[in-house]
Amino acid sequence: MAGGASASGGAGNAVRIVVAGDTKTGKSSLIVTAAAENFPSNVPPVLPPTRLPEDLYPDRVPLIIIDTSSSTENRGRLVEELTKADAVVLTYACDRSETLERLSSYWLPELRRLEVKVPVIVVGCMLDRRNDQQPVSLEQVMSPIMQQFREIETCIECSALNHIQIPEVFYYAQKAVLHPTAPLFDQEQQVLKPRCVRALKRIFILCDHDRDGALSDAELNDFQVKCFNAPLQPSEIVGVKRVVQEKLREGVDDRGLTLTGFLFLHALFIEKGRLETTWTVLRKFGYNNEIRLRDDQLPPPIKKYPDQSVELTAEALDFLKKIFTTYDVDGDGALRSAELEDLFSTAPENPWNEAPYVDAAEKTALGGLTLDGFLSLWALMTLLDPIRTVETLIYIGYCGDASSSIRVTRRRRVDRKKQQTERTVYQCFVFGPKEAGKSALLNSFIGRPFPEEHVPTTGERYAVNFIDRTTGPKKILVLREIPEEVDLLSKKDALAACDVAIFVHDSSSESSWEKATDMLVDVASQGEATGYEVPCLIVAAKDDLDPYPTEIQDSTRVSQDMGIEAPIPLSAKLGDYSNIFQRIVRAAEHPHLSIPETSAGRTRKQYHRIINRSLMVVSVGAAAALVGLAAYRVYAARKNASN
């Protein structure tokens, strides 16, 4: 494999390199000599931006070099330029050791403080001034600094006066931007980084057309043409495989180049400084510098109203069911941790190793995900982050049109007017004060045992599962726990994504009931004010404890006043849930039946009815008057005709 580099996906139209360092370390002379190919006799304190021609280096990408001043009065401009840089060249004077020490004591920490996260090239200028009586090994000097500051891509020494390694300085700077080492290779361990391995594994699988686990000569040639626009000669293919086999026997078998051999080749290219080869391959397959798919490989941002949600299509679900079966190697009907990691091994990471997915679905006794649990997590990810769902589907082998994998649902507002919904995924917001039993409810929903000790929920948490129904297909229910301290309703459209809200209270505590009731009134009021009215259910948790004295009267009064169902008693401790999850789904399917009405909302509706009735009376009276006037005109016309 060989070929030219590609700048696509690298740094746009030009690479912007900022040159910084202590005063009188040769910054301006370095830039002028690179641009004019002559050592300047007179250099201004700070040069204007200098553009190097695009044909100066093989990548044919122009460079814009920004000179800077280290003086206190110019600090503002220096900071501004550093934050806009694609790469930073830090200079020191080879004959002044204090300027080298300042790199690690000031300049490199300062770049970190400013959060300038770009490659750094350290350049020793004025090499011609160093005393030859004291030879210094650059590697020996820079090794400790590079160990401490991993952002340093390359170190080089140069002399503008003697034209030593001047073009190389900006070549390495450009290369660090277009073909950075850090995302691909761990310099300390001398191995490919995990995300690079994952991307190359996906590329290998895409090129292994016959799925036999190796790239045949024909497949290798197709790969070469796709990436480098040039075929491999038979002798070159033999040579590539020989290089691999000599170093790594398992890198080649009788079918061709194995995945192990493919990865070895890329590690070899990088070790030899040919990063452009691996970057060309990655970019041909749509990857950016973070080794994720570029935006142009993904659907555009989804345009939808706040009360619309996104679901997987039947086509995507069929693909996921097949993938599940493929990776369920032991055939036990569940994906264990190793099988799941294998499934996501061609994605940048396993998306479910982090919140909110990591503990959101039901697992088997051995920690595996059943098909229902697997599809539930995909539904949750699609609800919360649909573009990431599409991206992950592509990584794991979805070959259809990316936009055909998801669909936008009808507006909830329309569902409520039509008194029915076509959604297959419902989101339920779980409100309630602390220690009311919200977490226990979520735990029971995904088969977790009742905890003996209360563990407070510190942030928003989700639980997702399928719900069986007596008629029709199963639905997916997402429970979202809203901690008491989270001010959800501060946002106008906070309830837009909610299909049902439930209000959990400790039935043995009057203060818990009062707080839950206040939350119910707040949610109902916000729904009436914004038009995002949601069906609501009250849940009387901890039914195994004695209720507080007036619990029945209070709950009956509130449910009757607001026109919703009486509180649903349940006990997570006893495992008695009163079909709560099926009742939540029913409320979501028929939203108009459980929408609460506040006294203020009721007054507003009565007022609007009176106004409408008055307008109707006025309009009927006006119509009668018009009819009378028309009749009179007909009569008058006839009378005039008879005269």
Residue 38 binned pLDDT confidence (cut-offs 50, 70, 90)? confident
Which of 6-20, 27-41, 131-145 is predicted least confidently?
A: 6-20
Q: Tell me the backbone φ, ψ of residue 513, rounded to 5 degrees.
A: -60, -45
For 312-369, the pLDDT digits (tens) are 999 999 999 999 999 999 999 999 999 999 999 999 999 999 999 999 999 999 999 9
| Residue 394 to residue 199: CA distance in whole angstroms | 12
Please name the amino acid found at residue 335: L
Q: Tell me the backbone φ, ψ of residue 66, rounded to 5 degrees.
A: -110, 120
Q: Is the pTM of this model over 0.85?
A: no
**How much is the CA Rg of the chain, to the nearest whole Å?**
35
| Residue 194 to residue 385: CA distance in whole angstroms | 24
More confident residue, 150 or 102: 102
Nearest to 538, CA basis, from 590, 463, 521: 521
- What is the per-residue pLDDT for 15? 93
- Strands 334-335 and 15-21 turn out to be unpaired
DSSP letters, 373-391, are: HHHHHHHHHHHH-HHHHHH
For 258-290, the pLDDT digits (tens) are 999 999 999 999 988 889 999 999 999 999 999
Q: What is the dihedral of CA 305, 311, 315, 316, to 10 degrees?
A: 120
| Residue 199 to residue 254: CA distance in whole angstroms | 25
What b-and-e string marks burial along 610-640, b requiring 16 or more CB atoms within 10 Å of the CB? eeeeeeeeeeeeeeeeeeeeeeeeeeeeeee
Sign (positive or negative) of CA dihedral 606, 610, 611, 615? positive
What b-and-e string marks burial along 233-257, b requiring 16 or more CB atoms within 10 Å of the CB? eeeebeebbebbeeebeebbeeebb
For 602-624, the pLDDT digits (tens) are 666 665 556 666 666 566 555 65
Nearest to 29, CA basis, from 163, 151, 192, 171: 163
- What is the per-residue pLDDT for 620? 54
**Placement of tokens 């991307």 in the chain:** 199
Taking all residues of the chain, what is their mean pLDDT, rounded to a whole number?
A: 89
Nearest to 202, CA basis, from 273, 297, 272: 297
- What is the per-residue pLDDT for 11? 40
**Placement of tokens 């016959």 in the chain:** 210
